[in-house]
Structure formats: structure tokens, C-alpha cells
Structure 1
């Protein structure tokens, strides 16, 4: 009976996915350059609305991504997007006519489409993938993008991988750009890192990649509820059966291999917004909190940062 009550409660929880990479070719049926099935983004979205998603923020990682994300956001009044350049793609600033021209193009997207744009990003630092872009270039254009938050009074959607000391130092040096707050998404750092990030006024975004190890679970269990947000980072960062967090997952979804695509099933290995329920289930177990209370509190956290004027 307890599980039945908990499942019925879960249906009353509103969700906001703060990080969905819906511009990814996988939602067009393309995997590693090969077409495996028809484009099915609208089916993915229909499925997530049925699973209590109220809003989705589509994350952008480049100028072209920002344009594409904005186009997808026009499909529903519940879709919004970010505008910015991912650290691994910051070479694009130097490949443009000029870095200032690239930045101005991002600014023009914001100016002309403000109702749909809720954050600057995804920007930050990534020391795990320096083969895509060097540290110095990442740091330079991270700092440049922070100024967009101040200029447009928009929160930040931030990325940090194995770069916390420099990342936090840059944020501290640019404290005047942090007044609108924001989130460090897909967090998988230490509790000390999280505490420093929170002290600067930011929230912590949790997805499957935040819950991959026992150390991750211990860290997440100690984070303050009023600083948490939920995301899927789809089509990546699903909670896998090999993760210790999987033992806390209650909601399961039908999925098939992409080669055996079915319209009414998820694609195995391709995450999507509907699985945000699983992230909450893990969190509520780790924090020993009622999922309804926790889910509604996180919804409130997210609304207050990204949707306070909407």
C-alpha cells in the first residue's frame, strides 16, 4: 500500500527540466551521423507533457544551437531556451569575423526573442575535454559571456567539469554579473565545491550524471533543498542500471533499441525529459523527504530563478 500511495502522489508533482538538449540530432533519428528512425521530437514532447512536465529549458551550446533551440521553443508555450556558448565550443568566438561579432550575434538573439529566453548559457569551464578547446580560450570567453547576464538581467546556466577552483575564482572576480543568480548544472563535484557555489547565490542542478557514484550520492544527500533543481541533460545523463542510484528508481519506462524503433517507446540509451521523475525519486530517497514536498519545493526554486516574470 505504501508504494501505491507514493506512486499516486508522484502524479501530483509538477516538473521543470532545466536542461534538455533537444537540438541534438538523436531527436531527428540520427546517431553518429547515421539515420536510424524518423524524427520524433514531437512524440518525445507529447510523452513528457503526459509525465507532468510543466516547462522545459532547451540548452544551447553555440550560436547555431541558440538559433535552433529558439525554433524548437516555438513548438509550445511551455518550451524556453538559453543563449550562449559551451566551453568546449568557445573556439567559435575566434573563428567568427571577430569575437565581438560572435558575442553581438548572441546579444541580438536575446534582444529579438526575450520572452522565450530564460538564461545565459550553457557557459563555463570543462577541463575534461581540453582537446576541443584550451583552458585559456574557455576562461576568456566564459568571462565575456558572464557580462551578458548583467546586461540583460538574466540568470546563468553554468557548466563546470574538473575546473572548480578556476571556475569559482572567475565568478568571484565577476560578482557584479551574478545578481540574477542561476544554476551550475549537471553537478558532480565535491560538497566543498557545492557550498562555495551556493555561497555565490547559485543553485545546483541534479541529473543522472550527478548520481553515478557512491561519493556523488553522499554529496547530493547533504545539499540544501532550497538550492536544488532537477534536469535530465537529455539525450545524455540517464540513470543507468550500473549506477548505485538506480536502486532508488521506482518509475520505469519501456524502451527499445534504435534499430527496432517504436513510436510508443523510448529509445534505449537516449534520455528524454520524462525521466526527470527518476531523478526526483533518487533525491527523495537520499534526503529521506516526501517526494511531493521535495518536488514542489524544487519547482518553486526553479520558478523563482528562471520564471519569476512569466
Structure 2
């Protein structure tokens, strides 16, 4: 067993976990510097966020890179701790950066590639990239598709798996991935909230599916989560976003809660209300174990094995 209770964290429901991986953590977000919508509310507390994560049993965290500049920041953060890793890529809503004033798209792509090639100990995936048709005001669909395909080429050159984004765009995402599937070693469609049919199309491409709080909002979401084979499943927080809220269908299955205060009343050692953190990954596990009727410790073990298989094959 990869997960044992020889060194453990005891949760409210007596789940014992010694190894956990969060495959999607936006640790470069300014909320962890105490800034919300451009307004400073409290001191930077990323060190405390990480402390809570390690105490909660996380052994690996993958910091999401969402642009060239953000990927550089994620990489620098990953280099500060051997348990931190990162992705390198450009999020679909930021793909306009490839063609912004004074930017050469080929140079932007080459910079992403070089960042990944030069830092193989820290960079474990190409992404976050894909398609987002919910927020096309940030970047038009045709531009998203163009630079998604170009980032698939980065995955081919580096041999790294892909960390994929899909929002209201499964048909085009699957079409593009089907065309280029032989170019990539594998990947995960993270924060999945699509239908059972869309999930099956992703599974048919021999890809993994990542679930978080945004994946567990509705009863339909929960029904889809039940159908995903355990050997193709991963979990994440997508923090500071995608917390499991009281209005979510999955909330009734939570057994673990965390003390929190509003950001205006920030206190060292206490979570900020409505700001998700990596330690909350146990809540995603609790919901999935409940709706799938699986033993949470065994489920956690399988999820960790899947993460190693895709991102850390030398440890699998």
C-alpha cells in the first residue's frame, strides 16, 4: 500500500492518510499574498497554507502554470520545496497573449518549451491548456484552438503529459485530441464537470479525469463521478477556487471541516473563508468515497497510484 497509517493524519471520520497528491493547485494566485481583487486584506500566508497542506498528509502538489509569466513564477515556487512541482503552459483564456502587442507567437511558444526542457526535475506536465467556451470574451475560440494545438506539439517534443482544461467545449477538445493523440504520452482533463457521454469520450482517448469541488456541485455531477473507473480518476482542489460549498450537492457528504475567518479578520493559523486550500483535498475524497460507496482509504490509495503513473512514472 502506498498509503498507510504508520505516519498519519486523523480526520473526523477516522480516515488515515500518509500520502496525497493535489494535481491542481493555483499557488501563484495573489490571494495567497493576501490580495483580493487588487486590494490588500492581510499579510502573505502561503507558508501557512503549505504548512497546513503537509500536516494534512499531502506529499506532492502540482502548481498550475497558466501563462508564460505565471509558469515562471510557478517554477520558482516549485524549486523551493522538493514536494512541489509545476506545469508549463498557457490557459485558453490567456491565449491572446500569444498575439498581444509586441509579442511573437513563435518566441512565446519557444519560451514555454525551453522553460520545460531546462527544468525537467520540477516541470511535470504541459498545461494548463485546452479550451474554454464559457469565457470567450477573454479569448476567441479560434485563437484558443490554434494555440491549444501548438501546445500539444510542446507535449510531443518534451514527452511530458498534458494538464488539460475543458469548459463547455468537450466536442472540440475531443476532436483536437483525437487528431493528435499519438503525439502525447497521456494527460488528465482536470476540473471535469461534463456529462457521462463526454467523460466516456475522454476515457476512450486513454486519458485521466480530475475532479474537485467544481466537479461535485450538482446531483448530475455526482452521478457522473460514480461512472468514472477508479483506475482513470484523480483528485485536486484547483485552489484557491472550487471549494465545496454548502449549496453543492456533494456538501452533505462532508465529514471534515476546517475553522475559518473572513479575510478582513485574518488570523495566523486559520483558513480564510471561501478561499480553498490544498488541505481541503480530503473533502473531495470524502464526497467521492460516499457517492461511489468505496472505502476512503482504498480510494485514496488508488488515486495516488494514478497520479504517480501519469506524472511520476519512475515512482509508480
Task: Name the TM-score class by shorter chain.
Answer: over 0.9
* Alpha-carbon distance in structure 2 between the residues aligned to 1:282 and 1:116: 31
Deviations 1:256-301 (A, max 9, x none): 0000001110000100100000000000001100001100001000
Counterpart in the other structure of 1:176? 182
Q: Does 1:228 align with 2:233?
A: yes
* Alpha-carbon distance in structure 1 between the residues aligned to 2:314 and 2:180: 25
2:239, 2:277 within 8 Å by CA — same for their partners in 1?
Answer: yes
Deviations 1:107-166 (A, max 9, x none): 111121111000000000000000000000000000000011111110000000000111
- How big is the shift at 1:13? 4.6
Question: Aligned in 2, Cα 1:147/1:283: closer, same or farther, shift over 3 Å?
Answer: same
Match of 2:56 among 51, 60, 63: 51
Match of 2:81 among 76, 82, 92: 76
Say which SS state the counterpart of residue 90 (structure 1) adopts: helix
1:93, 1:99 within 8 Å by CA — same for their partners in 2?
Answer: yes
* Alpha-carbon distance in structure 1 between the residues aligned to 2:142 and 2:289: 39
Counterpart in the other structure of 2:191? 186
Question: Aligned in 2, Cα 1:276/1:29: closer, same or farther, shift over 3 Å?
Answer: same
Counterpart in the other structure of 2:28? 23
1:13, 1:296 within 8 Å by CA — same for their partners in 2?
Answer: no
Long gaps (5+) in structure 2: 1-9
The alignment's TM-score, normalised by the length of structure 2, stands at 0.94
- How big is the shift at 1:233? 0.2
* Alpha-carbon distance in structure 2 between the residues aligned to 1:276 and 1:205: 12
Q: Does 1:122 align with 2:132?
A: no
* Alpha-carbon distance in structure 1 between the residues aligned to 2:288 and 2:173: 26
* Residue pairs, 1:87-106, within 5 angstroms: 87-95=92-100, 97-106=103-112
1:61, 1:89 within 8 Å by CA — same for their partners in 2?
Answer: yes
Match of 1:238 among 228, 232, 243: 243
* Residue pairs, 1:159-170, within 5 angstroms: 159-170=165-176
Counterpart in the other structure of 1:86? 91
- Equivalent residue pairs, number: 305
Match of 2:292 among 283, 287, 294: 287
- How big is the shift at 1:244? 1.2
Deviation larger for 276-285 or 106-115: 106-115
- How big is the shift at 1:309? 2.7
Match of 1:65 among 59, 62, 70: 70
2:13, 2:256 within 8 Å by CA — same for their partners in 1?
Answer: no
Counterpart in the other structure of 2:40? 35
* Alpha-carbon distance in structure 2 between the residues aligned to 1:166 and 1:302: 26
Question: Aligned in 2, Cα 1:48/1:110: closer, same or farther, shift over 3 Å?
Answer: same
Counterpart in the other structure of 2:259? 254
Structure 1 residue runs of 4+, over 6 Å off?
A: none
Question: Aligned in 2, Cα 1:277/1:88: closer, same or farther, shift over 3 Å?
Answer: same
The alignment's TM-score, normalised by the length of structure 1, stands at 0.96
Long gaps (5+) in structure 1: none
- How big is the shift at 1:12? 2.6
